[in-house]
Amino acid sequence: MRHIKWVVLVLVALSLVAPLAVAQEDTGEGLTIGFSQIGSESAWRTSFTNAVKAEAEARGINLLFSDAQQEQENQIAAMQAWIAQGDVDAIVLAPVVVSGWDVVLQEAKDAGIPVVIVDRNVDSDPSLFVTRVSSDFVHEGRLAAAWLVQATSGQCNIVELYGTVGSAAAEDRNQGFNEVIALFPGMKIIRSETGNFVRTEGKQVMESFLSAEDPANICAVWAHNDDMAIGAIEAIKEAGLVPAKDILIVSVDAIPDIFDSLDAGETNATVELSPFMGAPAFDAVVSYLNGEELPKWVPVAGKLYTDRAAYDADHQ
């Protein structure tokens, strides 16, 4: 137990590190910015899109929005169109996957159009973009694992609902979670399959887990986002089991629906992924255009919540 408490204390301490500030002298009023969004695969993604649009409107920024419908090819095509037309002052990119961005980012740089990466990451040369504004996905995985270790005294067979394969969010959350459970021999992932961050797919994958495994052998669900967790809850209930009791559930996002599940006693914990990345992204664009140097990563903080009251208290 001392080992468990030590891990939790370290993670809590790390969560208190303040995000880097980005200096800015104006709001960006009058700028035209292209925003390439992954799509609308989850409730959190929709909240993120709405938050960015609202922030742009409040600042007087002309936002050109492109919904890629989860296809990288659509994102690249939108960016190349903006670059060719020369009608944007900057581009904000939420990349669907990590790899495959070198060519279009080089094209933007050659055209003198700064690119800010938001939410997920890219593996391109950092010189090709201004900065990245995002949560710390690795830390999110660590927080989820630390909670589960504490809740189970370090003894748990886990099924994992993996996010989109190749995405930074999925890979990094998986990394952080595994780093923590590796410290405890009694914690192991017995099955893992992608649900692509989608609620219906999360339910389908959980149904397959319950068919392939004796449900009594499954201690917990670790879902890379809340939507897949909610799908898993539906599958668990339909199997005649009690979610959050027979099988524990921890996930990431902190969307309104997951707090409804917490209120109903049907899930256990969620790690917040803040959708409010528009402001720091636009601040970064303004700072760059003002000639300021920026860090290559601007983190957006989030916490783990086990009830709505604590979340509401933090967001008054």
The model's confidence at residue 13, banded by pLDDT at 50, 70 and 90, is very low
Tell me whether domains 2-9+137-272 and 19-135+275-300 share a fold.
yes
Indicate the pTM of the whole model: 0.80
Element (H or E) spanning 159, and its range? strand 156-162
- At residue 9 the predicted structure's pLDDT band, cuts being 50, 70 and 90, is very low
CATH number at 2-9+137-272: 3.40.50.2300
| Strand partners of residue 160 | 192, 222
pLDDT of residue 226: 97
CA 125 – CA 127 distance, rounded (Å) = 5
In the structure encoding, which two tokens stand for residue 34, read together?
């292209």
The 10s digit of each residue's pLDDT in 60-117 is 999 999 999 999 999 999 999 999 999 999 999 999 999 999 999 999 999 999 999 9
Q: Are strands 187-194 and 90-93 parallel, antiparallel or unpaired?
A: unpaired
Residue pair 137/197 in contact (Cβ under 8 Å)? The answer is: no
Domain boundaries, the chain: 2-9+137-272, 19-135+275-300
Rounded-to-integer distance, Cα 261 and Cα 250, Å: 12
pLDDT at 1 > cutoff 50: no
Average pLDDT of the residues of the chain = 92
Q: Is the distance from CB of 224 to CB of 161 less than 8 angstroms?
A: yes
The candidate with the shortest Cα–Cα distance to 222, out of 155, 151, 161, is 161
Closest CA to 66 of 81, 47, 85, 55: 81
Considering only the top CATH level, what class is 19-135+275-300?
A: alpha beta
